[in-house]
Amino acid sequence: MKVRQARWAALAAAVLILPACGAPDDGGSNKASEPFVIMISGGADAGPVTDQLRTALTAARAGVATVNEEGGINGREVKLLESPDNANPTKALSALRAQIAKKKPDAYLVGAGSNVSAAIAPILNQNKILFVNAANIAATGDPKQHPLAFNLAASTQVVVEGYLPMFEANGYKKIGVLHGNSAYAKTFGKLAESVFKGAGYDVAGVEEYDSTALDMTAQISTLRAAGPDVVVFNAYGAPAGYVLKGITKLGWDVPLLGDTSVSSTPLITQEPPVGLLGSPDLKHLKLEVTKSTVYDPSAEATNKAVKAMTSIGQIKGSMNNCLGYDAILLVAAAAKSANSTEPEAMAKALEDPSVTSAAGTAVYPTYPFSADSHEPKLPLDTHSFAEPGPIVNGQLNSPK
């Protein structure tokens, strides 16, 4: 009887101990010979954001190639693991769970689709996976909620504050705001109102449109009745065209300032017959762009990135869609600085501005994160305004 009890006890102990004897998948330094795996939300058909998704993938692939050419991440070859979820949050979540069950990735990158970011962020947090997020959501910019997550895109606050020097320079006093009804667009509208009012400007009207609507005459008529000196608007894709055609139809000669979404819309930045460049609809329009979207022969890091990206694919839209390239370089720089691929150590390193400044990033020259905020505190002059022109290889005035 005692022998049987002893056998059962031994079996129970074995059951408890054996799993602990397996190789822990903790992303730790014991994987020095294994590739550094970065999982990315990808695919080929994501509806209206297909171009953004494809360009983000191209950018990430170029980033991986660049880092691998320079010896990888702390000597480990970087491998990009593409999740074919088409920016669908449910599919992205399933793919991530399946991958974690199989083998935990070292980092995760979202290039397009804030719904995907919102869906997977808690799982990445739970599994202590570094998350570099080009599709900003508020939660991933807050280290208290997600200590291992970092937003890469300029915050809406930075985008909105970028208008203030333009108002000042042109003497605009009464501002009209037109925005869509997506989560980002609503935030843009709210922030525009509060920031402009806070800066002493008269916000004559704030109008929202349904992003599936086919006509903006009603909203434009309302804004026109308010008599603003300038209209600030947010739109991506066909709605950008509806806004411009609506304004032309009404014969309203008001200066228009499109945000970075407008400048990422090929309809606005391509010459006829594909786009509207040169048409009367764009006569009064100026576009808010990141500095890297305007070609500068002296911008070595940006030009190197463009070359790397165009050698493996197309850049559709502007450089704003290429944050995936910077994401890979930032992770590599963080690992090098921390001398570790432990996610906590890399996150800590990313909070050091000297690390992100030296990463050789292309879209923004630096990503000033801090221990209090994982949203890059980009300077006010991050964006500038440019006349609409053909965007080739992600840039205005590109030498092609």
Which residues contribute to the site for other proteins (CB under 8 A)? Answer: 45-51, 181, 207-210, 212-215, 217-219, 221-222, 237-238, 241, 245, 248-251, 265-267, 272-276, 280, 316
Q: Which of 129, 127, 61, 34 is nearest to 346 (CA)?
A: 129
Q: Measured from the CB atom, is 147 or 266 closer to other proteins?
A: 266
**Partners of 73 in the beta sheet?**
76
Quote the tokens at residue 180. Answer: 């869509």
Four-CA torsion 157, 295, 319, 375, nearest 10 degrees: -30
- Give min distance, CB of 187 to other proteins, in A: 16
Q: Measured from the CB atom, is 33 or 212 closer to other proteins?
A: 212
Residues 203, 230 contacting (CB under 8 angstroms): no
- Give min distance, CB of 239 to other proteins, in A: 9
- Give min distance, CB of 49 to other proteins, in A: 8
CA-CA distance, 396 to 56, in Å (whole number)?
Answer: 19
- Give min distance, CB of 84 to other proteins, in A: 15
- Give min distance, CB of 217 to other proteins, in A: 4
Q: Measured from the CB atom, is 88 or 382 closer to other proteins?
A: 88
Q: Give the N- to C-terminal CA distance of the chain in Å, as an integer.
A: 85
Residues 96, 83 contacting (CB under 8 angstroms): yes
- Give min distance, CB of 399 to other proteins, in A: 24
Q: Measured from the CB atom, is 218 or 380 closer to other proteins?
A: 218
Q: Measured from the CB atom, is 45 or 168 closer to other proteins?
A: 45
- Give min distance, CB of 138 to other proteins, in A: 22
In whole angstroms, how far apart are CA 13 and each of 6, 10, 20, 61?
Answer: 10, 5, 11, 47
CA-CA distance, 397 to 263, in Å (whole number)?
Answer: 14
Q: Measured from the CB atom, is 10 or 183 closer to other proteins?
A: 183
Q: Measured from the CB atom, is 143 or 237 closer to other proteins?
A: 237
Q: Which of 298, 238, 180, 307 is nearest to 47 (CA)?
A: 238
Tell me, what amino acid is at 48?
P
DSSP letter string, 265-311: -HHHHS-TTTS-TTSGGGTTEEEEEEGGGB--TT-HHHHHHHHHHHH
- Please give the DSSP secondary-structure letter assigned to residue 350: H
Q: Measured from the CB atom, is 11 or 44 closer to other proteins?
A: 44
- Give min distance, CB of 72 to other proteins, in A: 34
